[in-house]
Structure 1
């Protein structure tokens, strides 16, 4: 009788116990279009949780990045979802709009992105400029057709491309950047060490094996635990970027992969 009861209990656990864990077919909405309750802001020179100047705001069902309440110079910011992720498929719709902040660095023109395998907002020091992470970079066309979007940038990190450690900070995709004011769907698929980036359903870049780069001079002010050279990055937080140009995000969703 005891064995029978054990088997029945085990069957119930197997049947119902994992029902709260989303399968690979289920999409989880990260941004609900109403508020930022599940997100934490971290802006350069400010503590985690301080949404300085109302930089990140929700309007018309979109997550907007705006600078109309202060003069932007180097207040680079990110807004991080509350939960870290490991293997996942992320999709984000983005659109650049408005005017570039004239005091921002020139490279930030029509430039933003999503950070992943990132340290949390709370783990970043007040004057830390960028999170140690990997970035899927979003760019818009400057009118000359030279830019690409869906690139990879690596603040404080390294990645491998074609079997070798990639020596530069950013790796360009083959996808031409699209015009400002146009909605673009960006997707990021992370399965183990392999990372695939897509723009509007098209694979634009594949790379692998992100690790911490102790020699990278781009990130300033990170704690020692995030500067351990060679440490593999296989999970972390997801953050949407504020870099000096107004941008909108919507349809931020994720599905978990085994």
Structure 2
């Protein structure tokens, strides 16, 4: 709203949204105090707006961006960098893009990771193995921290064929899982495999909400973990010996109940 005021000894002129309003006043000092008060309030309001902007721009959930993000643009490896035992590679290494699909040859062993770190999010992606080249192994690494190495300190959402939904703890990442299903670093998925036949697209839905992790495969919650260390980290896709393909890699904000509005996972009792 446009607001302007001029004060005289016997009256006050005020413009609101272009309209002139005249009010007679008997106390000139009262008018000046009013003007001073309005000036202070204007400064405070400007500061609040600035602070609100900074808060909304600096949220760590999606690296400062609270909108849905397509991590893979379907054209190139922009926003990603490859790593193998030979070091970081800007040319993608075993990773390439063909017909809008992110393709991995499986060699050399390593991973493709984001160049930006993320903390809390809903990550959805689709994957499949080549039926002509057989099933294999891969994984999605979450909250990747520390130096690039094979393998980095992180939480792995397993993609080994018929074992999608398992959780692997890499580098003693702080977390708590179901002890009855945990053997060493592996926590087996809760239900029998529900992956689709080899060659068909599967959907992973991964929720990281503070200390809580939830893994859903094709709409079924297969695993959870609690007390996960809350730290910004990279997201990485493993190159682990077998050709694998990915598409529709999308990051969404976490809602209050740890779910987004695009998809609802179910629990099998």
Whether TM exceeds 0.5 here: the answer is yes
Select 1:47's aligned residue among 64, 70, 87: 87
Go from structure 1 to structure 2 and tell me whether the alpha carbon gap of 1:132 and 1:65 turns closer, same or farther (over 3 Å shift): same
C-alpha separation in 2, matches of 1:172 and 1:148: 8
Paired residues of 2:110 and 2:240 also in contact (CA < 8 A): yes
Change (3 A) 1:63 1:110: same
Task: Structure 2 unaligned segments of length 5 or more: list them.
Answer: 1-37, 256-269
Residue number among 134, 138, 153 corresponding to 1:112 in the alignment: 138
Which one of 143, 150, 162 corresponds to residue 178 of structure 2?
162
Aligned to 2:220: 202
- 1:12 aligned residue (40, 49, 53): 49
Asked if 1:248 is matched to 2:245, the reply is yes
8 A contact 2:119–2:230 mirrored in 1: no
Partner of 1:56: 95
The Cα shift of 1:209 comes to 2.4
- The answer (yes or no) to whether the contact 1:196–1:203 under 8 Å persists in 2 is yes
Q: State the Cα distance separating 1:165 from its structure 2 match.
A: 11
**1:133 corresponds to which of 154, 165, 182:** 154
**How well do the aligned residues superpose, as a CA RMSD in angstroms?**
2.8
- DSSP-derived class of the 1:94 partner: strand
Larger radius of gyration: 2
Judged with a 3 Å threshold, the aligned counterparts in structure 2 of structure 1 residues 25 and 154 are, in CA distance, closer, same or farther, namely same
The superposition leaves residues 40-98 of structure 1 with CA deviations (integer Å, 9 ceiling, x where unpaired) of 1101x21112557x41001100110025xxxx4xx311111111111111011111114
After TM superposition, the runs of 4+ consecutive aligned structure 1 residues lying more than 2 A away are: 10-26, 49-52, 162-167, 232-235
SS of the residue 2:238 aligns to = strand
1:175, CA displacement in angstroms?
4.1
Distance 2:51 2:252 in 1: 21
Q: CA deviation at 1:197?
A: 0.4
Deviation at 1:5, TM superposition (A): 1.7
SS state at 2:82 partner: strand
After TM superposition, give the deviation of residue 155 of structure 1 in Å. 1.9
Q: How many residues align?
A: 210
Q: Deviations over 1:160-207 (max 9, x none)?
A: 123799451221212414321010010110111110001112211111
Q: Mark the CA change 1:171 to 1:178 in structure 2 (over 3 Å): closer, same or farther.
A: farther
Unaligned runs of 5+ in 1: 101-108, 141-146, 211-231
In the superposition, the TM-score normalised over structure 1's length comes to: 0.71
Farther-moved stretch of structure 1 (21-30 vs 154-163) = 21-30
